[in-house]
Structure 1
Amino acid sequence: MSTTTSTYLSIENNLARYQTMIANEPAVKTATEYYAANIGKVTSISDLVGNYRLLSYALTAYGLGDQVDNKALVTQVLEGGVSSSKALANTLANPNWAKFAAAFNFAANGASSISTASAISTTESAYDEQALEGQQGQQDVGVQLALYFQRVAPTITSSYNVLGDENLLEAFQTIFGVTLNTYGSIDTNASIVSKLMPMSDLTDPTKLKQLTERFTAQYTLLYGPGGQDASTPLSVTSSGTTTGNLNAATSIMSGILSGNSSYSGSSTAELLSGALLTSLQSLSLGG
């Protein structure tokens, strides 16, 4: 049986072929053809927001497909553009809003900018990637998350972006075996992300690949070969060895944050990985 890691690697090593296959899927092809034929007719923000099929395609391409009915928010984001740090797109927690507003930058570049050959091609490619990830997620959510992490992580600029993106957050927590909401404020959580996963690691192809493969390995350990719906929590008792071992990661994190010298000489990643492995060895893993 294939594992999350083997499936992810198969796709990553043959990405162009998979992208071509997904682009030729009937539903994807029909949506893309409609978008390419009609986006040039858009002359204003209201034109885009008022066309459900165009707006759905555009939002889906940037990971915001579930916002298609939130027309007021979409309008405000597009009207504000991205030039100012105070623009709505730049202040929303989900970094995809800023990417969407930059791609459909009516405010700075006018309506014609969204229908150039380059702009259409960029949006189509982004849509295909989303479709590929969604398709893989129907079989193994871990593969979907791995592809998403590999694609999106290099584009973020702050540890706060990880906290604002539930997919990146899940990947991070799986890689390092932590649950951030147990550690207090958003600033504390952002500090944890920075310590364990520096932003510079995400723009280093080798380190990013290592992180992604580590995610798939941990995901397979947690959910078994073939994975499962990531929304289904592990069944962990409130007492006994399992809980104690899971709490080892929490204890290590507390030491890291307090500067406990007993953790010096080892990387935080190594410490947490060891604690997580110990806990995993006590679990009855799904399969």
Structure 2
Amino acid sequence: MTTLSTYLQIANNQSLWQSMTAKQPDVATQTQYFEDNIGKVQSVDDFMKNDRLFNYAMTAFGLGDMTYAKGMMQKVLEQGVSDNSALANTLNNANIKAFATAFDFADNGASTTSSSTLVDNVVSRYAEQSLEDNQGQQNPGVQLALYFQRNAPSITSVYGILADSKILSVVQTALGISTQTTSQSIDSQAAMLTSKLDITDFQDPKKLQQFISRFAAMYDYNNSGSDANSQSSLLSTLFDSSSSDSSFGLDSSLLLSVQGVRFNSF
């Protein structure tokens, strides 16, 4: 299966895939521990001392590769999110901001972890993150597509794209932008992205899916072997990477139909 067909298969049945992931033994075991013990946490110090709870929460918010930065994360939680100068608001990292907002000990104190809404949010995020990680082991392109689907709608400026390496990778691939452009100044990169896309399109479900599908087709074209290249080129030619048309070139009904295409029949 191509990156595009796999992504569409999951995207069209997201709740089912997430439910199956949540039932996997390793995921279910970690989730059960979190649900049984997070309510016992009364402070930031309590939270930081329990590596298993902390790591679960960090992973749920896409921060699994930053679990070593406990000193910084403790400051993030202690300062909260109410003050504009708080660390969570100045790091330009949406995942850290979301983490600090969920675990807002600064404003809510000991009652922070007694919220069923918090538990449900973190558990859902963990299953979603685990689904993405599982797909990444088989096809990194699918992981990137799912990550983009989840996070792109919350981006409010092109600087948000530049601040997230995964989001930037999807955008560069979809638009045919060389990775070498990262050597340019931030402002130059921002100006280029502004000229090539309308950031508000990511808040439109139809246009978001079109953009992700464009990325998936180009990802296969750039990364697959010669046979797969010849197959996925059929898809990639449907997209004009030089076009500034915010519709990204394909109607969503056509994108959905691609899921059922048998590429080896051509």
Aligned to 2:7: 8
Q: Comparing 163-172 with 190-199, which one deviates more in the overlay? A: 190-199
Structure-2 separation of matches of 1:208 and 1:176:
14
Aligned to 1:107: 106
Checking the alignment, whether the CA contact within 8 Å between 1:93 and 1:165 is kept in structure 2 is: no
Structure-2 separation of matches of 1:110 and 1:67:
24
TM-score scaled by length of structure 2: 0.82
Checking the alignment, whether the CA contact within 8 Å between 2:162 and 2:168 is kept in structure 1 is: yes
Per-residue deviation, 1:7: 0.5
The 5 A counterparts of 1:255-274 are 267=244
Aligned to 1:130: 129
Structure-1 separation of matches of 2:82 and 2:247:
41
Structure-1 separation of matches of 2:91 and 2:27:
29
Q: In the alignment, does 2:208 pair up with 1:208?
A: yes
Letter in 2 for 1:172: V
Checking the alignment, whether the CA contact within 8 Å between 1:181 and 1:189 is kept in structure 2 is: no
State the secondary structure of the residue aligned to 1:110.
helix
Aligned to 1:184: 184
Aligned to 2:260: none
- The runs of at least 4 aligned residues of structure 1 exceeding 4 Å deviation read 268-271
| Deviation per residue, 1:82-117 (Å, 9 max, x gap) | 122221111113221111111111112223123311
Q: Comparing 24-33 with 91-100, which one deviates more in the overlay? A: 91-100
Give unpaired runs (5+ residues) of structure 2: 226-240, 249-266
The 5 A counterparts of 1:50-65 are 50-65=49-64
Per-residue deviation, 1:79: 1.2
Q: Comparing 173-182 with 88-97, which one deviates more in the overlay? A: 173-182
Structure-2 separation of matches of 1:65 and 1:142:
19
Aligned to 1:167: 166
Aligned to 2:89: 90
Aligned to 2:116: 117
Q: Comparing 85-94 with 145-154, which one deviates more in the overlay? A: 85-94
Aligned to 1:233: none
Q: Comparing 19-28 with 91-100, which one deviates more in the overlay? A: 91-100
Letter in 2 for 1:68: T
Aligned to 1:29: 28
Aligned to 1:38: 37
RMSD: 2.0
Checking the alignment, whether the CA contact within 8 Å between 2:197 and 2:244 is kept in structure 1 is: no
Checking the alignment, whether the CA contact within 8 Å between 1:180 and 1:189 is kept in structure 2 is: no
Aligned to 1:193: 193
State the secondary structure of the residue aligned to 1:267.
coil
Aligned to 1:154: 153
Per-residue deviation, 1:9: 0.6
Checking the alignment, whether the CA contact within 8 Å between 2:156 and 2:200 is kept in structure 1 is: no
Checking the alignment, whether the CA contact within 8 Å between 2:144 and 2:166 is kept in structure 1 is: yes
Aligned to 2:255: none
State the secondary structure of the residue aligned to 1:218.
helix
State the secondary structure of the residue aligned to 1:83.
coil
State the secondary structure of the residue aligned to 2:84.
coil
Structure-1 separation of matches of 2:191 and 2:82:
27
Aligned to 1:48: 47
State, as a whole percentage, how many aligned pairs show the same letter.
47
Structure-1 separation of matches of 2:186 and 2:179:
9
Structure-2 separation of matches of 1:64 and 1:22:
19
Aligned to 1:224: 224
State the secondary structure of the residue aligned to 2:138.
coil
Structure-1 separation of matches of 2:83 and 2:153:
22
Checking the alignment, whether the CA contact within 8 Å between 2:42 and 2:113 is kept in structure 1 is: no
